[in-house]
């Protein structure tokens, strides 16, 4: 079970069995290495997946965590684990945020896919949609 604490959803109460379980499937457009690509959860079959959600691009909520995930993406890959980030923004917004230098409020280059959840289906399926605002809570959970 995910817990909400101050707007952050954590997997602290998940049992190891549920962490090793399969998350809801999805198909989404992502920004990968500066290009648009269709991604689905099944692309990572046989690997661990860390899927995290953040509220919106170009905000000051979560960019340091996103950048930290990017800086450690290779460490995750060496453990057969793929990091994926998602928000309700469009893939065009993701690309603009990535293409904006960090000193100007952007992310700069990111070493993992950022997925677009414009329909809110992923956030709903993973239980992280803040329905009154139409954005995702900050959250992270294992999937795969």
* Domain assignment present for 141: yes
Q: What is the pLDDT of residue 139?
A: 56
* Domain assignment present for 2: no
* Domain assignment present for 144: yes
Q: What is the pLDDT of residue 118?
A: 95
* Domain assignment present for 1: no
| Domains in the chain, number | 1
Per-residue pLDDT of the chain (144 residues; tens, 9 = 90+): 344 444 444 444 433 334 556 789 999 999 999 999 999 999 999 999 999 999 999 987 668 889 999 999 999 999 999 999 999 999 999 999 999 999 998 999 999 999 999 999 999 998 888 888 777 876 554 444
Helices (H), the chain: 16-19, 63-71, 73-78, 91-99, 121-125
Q: What is the CATH number of the domain that holds 88?
A: 3.40.30.10
Question: Using CA atoms in the order 10, 13, 17, 23, what is the torsion angle rounded to 10 degrees?
Answer: -30
* Domain assignment present for 117: yes
* Domain assignment present for 14: no
Domain residues for the domain of 104 are 45-144
Alpha carbon distances (Å) from 103 to 8, 33, 60, 96, 108: 26, 20, 13, 14, 9
Enumerate the active-site residues.
62
* Domain assignment present for 133: yes
Q: What is the pLDDT of residue 40?
A: 96
* Domain assignment present for 29: no
Can you give the pTM of this predicted structure?
0.80
């Amino acid at each position: 079970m995910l817990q909400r604490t101050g707007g952050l959803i954590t997997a602290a109460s998940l049992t190891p069995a549920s962490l090793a379980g399969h998350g809801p499937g999805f198909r989404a457009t992502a920004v990968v290495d500066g290009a648009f690509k269709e991604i689905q959860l099944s692309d990572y079959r046989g690997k661990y997946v860390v899927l995290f959600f953040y509220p919106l691009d170009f905000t000051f909520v979560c960019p340091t965590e996103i950048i930290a995930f990017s800086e450690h993406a290779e460490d995750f890959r060496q453990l057969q684990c793929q990091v994926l980030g998602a928000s309700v923004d469009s893939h065009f917004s993701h690309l603009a945020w990535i293409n904006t230098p960090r000193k100007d409020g952007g992310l700069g280059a990111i070493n993992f896919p950022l997925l677009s959840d414009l329909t809110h289906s992923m956030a709903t399926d993973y239980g992280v949609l803040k329905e009154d605002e139409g954005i995702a809570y900050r959250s992270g959970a294992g999937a795969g």
